């Protein structure tokens, strides 16, 4: 078990990391969106199962992250 001091330190670290994640949300989401566009191109061009599977995984990760950020920031994400 963690002591109350260790728990407070971990909570403070988590809050700082979340704050930084929210600051960089547009950068992170735009990077994932660019990866999705590249993977969509590859999937359409090469018609390989691996390309489609990677595309689905990346889209899933993007949606999970975007939803998490919206829930944590209590607002809809509107990045360019």
Phi, psi values for residue 68, rounded to 5° = -60, -45
pTM: 0.85
Q: According to the model, what pLDDT value does residue 66 have?
A: 95
Q: According to the model, what pLDDT value does residue 77 have?
A: 85
Q: According to the model, what pLDDT value does residue 1 have?
A: 82
Q: Per residue of the chain (80 residues), give pLDDT as tens.
A: 889 999 999 999 999 999 999 999 999 999 999 999 999 999 999 999 999 999 999 999 999 999 999 999 988 888 86
b/e per residue 10-48 (b: at least 16 CB within 10 A): eeeeeeeeeeeeeeebeebbeebeebbeebeebbeeeee
Alpha helix (H) residue ranges in 1-80: 4-23, 25-46, 49-73
Q: According to the model, what pLDDT value does residue 80 have?
A: 66
Q: How far apart are CA 47 and CA 43, in angstroms?
A: 5
């Amino acid at each position: 078990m963690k002591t109350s001091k260790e728990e407070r330190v971990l909570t403070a670290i988590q809050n700082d990391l979340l704050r930084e994640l929210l600051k960089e949300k547009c950068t992170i989401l735009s990077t994932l969106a660019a990866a999705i566009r590249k993977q969509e191109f590859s999937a359409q061009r090469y018609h390989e199962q691996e390309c489609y599977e990677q595309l689905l995984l990346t889209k899933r990760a993007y949606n999970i992250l975007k939803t998490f950020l919206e829930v944590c920031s209590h607002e809809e994400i509107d990045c360019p």
